[in-house]
Every structure is written in C-alpha cells, then in structure tokens.
Amino acid sequence: MPSINFKNAKIYFTSQGEGNTIVFLHGFLENLSMWQNISPVLAKNNRVICIDLLGHGKTESLGYIHSMEEQAQMVKFVLNFLKLRKYIIIGHSMGGYVGLAFAELFPKNIKKLVLMNSTAMADSDEKKTNRDRGIKAVKHNAGLFVKLAIPNLFSNKNKKIFSKEIDLIIQKALQMTAQGIIAAMEGMKIRKDRRFVLKTNSFPILMIISKQDPALDYQSLISQIKNTPVLKQEFPDGHMSHIENKQALLDTFISFLK
C-alpha cells in the first residue's frame, strides 16, 4: 500500500482502475478496508482512491485534535500528489464531515458529493457531552470502548445477522491508538455546521439516509435537505449501509455516478 508524508505523518491510500476519479472516505473507528466489497466493482470503469484518515488504519496521528478541516487538507494533499483535479467524494459518517469540509475549502475540485449516513449539522450540546464521556472512556479502556461502540452502529436485528462482520470491524479498530480515537472525537466535537453547503453547492449532492440509524436522527436529516437541491436515497437499516444494505448501496452509487 503506497504512503506519503503529510506534516511528518505517514498517510496510506490505495488507487485502482482508470476513468473518473472516486475518492472514498471511511467513518470513525473504520479504515479504507471498509470499501473492499465496493471499490473493485467501481474500479472496473473508474479510478478509485481509498484513504486512511488521520489516526485510522495505517495512517499516523498528527496531534491531539484532528479537525475535519485538517483531515480535508490531508485528503487534498494526497489527491494533489496523484495529480488529480476533479473527483467524486463519497464519505461515510465522519468521512462525510470531512467531505463537507473539503467542499467548503475546495469546491472547484468536486464533481459530486455523497454523504452516506452522515449529517451537515454540528454536534448538539448533548452530543458534545456524550463525546466527552466517550473520550474519558477511551482514556480509561480504549479496547472496551471500541467493543461497545461498533455493535451500536447496526440496527437491532442486524447485530446478530452481521455478528461476524462486527467482530472483524472490532478487530481492526482495536489496532488504533487511543490518541487516534480521541483526536477524531475531539475533531468531530468542534466541527462547524455546514448545512449551507447543501444549499449553495454548485455540484450534485446525494444523501444516503437509513431509517433505523442509531447514530443519526432520521427527521433531522430529512429536514436538512428540505428546500435544497440535495438528492436522497433511503435504506431501511442502520448506520453501516455498506454492510447492512450492500447491494442496494452499490446500485445507488452506480446510478448516481452516471
């Protein structure tokens, strides 16, 4: 897997295929391997770039807070290194927050944006309090935090159905440092509200919403895209559409990318 240095941190990414460029950004506690069932299919007709975000996967941490802006600048650094100028960004959850920061910083580079199980709103006070609790829990026992957090991203019925997949995600997340986990939580906690991006964008945006997403409020997501040009695709399950609604998600991507 190739790597480059960004501000003295090693950044890992993969690149496969040729054609229109698609950039995949994973979520919190995940890494670029979350796209392994999707990227090869899309790489048949596109160039697909997957990046390990700061403190995740093999990519190193930069500091004690990884802001969404800094993550976006790192992504731009990788894409500049690859001499890419226009691309479709697909971000899952935290990857969507990075995608929105990217859209604000570098709007001319984006062809299309997909927000998958993500939100343009900032953290509420309650959510910030929960993140602070989470940070304390990570400092006390990062492994336990990971083991409890990941199953809670799936809809109730899918926790049993996808127990093997959940175990695999946990095993990979357990390789993260406590610093990497905390820096991401601190960064998400201070991220700004970017609903304006949904209204003022000059490129197509698709929001993928899951009706039983334990991490995001369904009605809040619907209200964000009301009276905006944002397209919407709904799924019946939880936060992990790439596992819970894999084929439907792939079909949605293929259709939107046309």
Q: What is the CATH number of the domain that holds 68?
A: 3.40.50.1820
Q: Which residues of the chain have pLDDT under 50?
A: none
Domain that holds residue 15: 3-257
pLDDT at residue number 144: 97
Work out how many domains the chain is built from and give that number: 1
Q: How buried is 164 (Cβ within 10 angstroms: 0-12 exposed, 13-18 middle, 19+ buried)?
A: exposed
What beta strand segments (E) does the chain contain? 3-6, 9-16, 20-25, 46-51, 87-92, 110-116, 205-210, 231-235
Q: DSSP code of 1?
A: -
Displacement of CA 153 from its chain's centroid (Å): 13
pLDDT at residue number 160: 96
Q: DSSP code of 59?
A: P
Place of tokens 């799924």: 235
Q: What is the pLDDT of residues 156-186, one digit of tens each?
A: 999 999 999 999 999 999 999 999 999 999 9
Token code pair at residue 147:
């083991």
Task: Identify the CA nearest to 80 among candidates 109, 117, 56, 111.
Answer: 109
pLDDT at residue number 1: 86
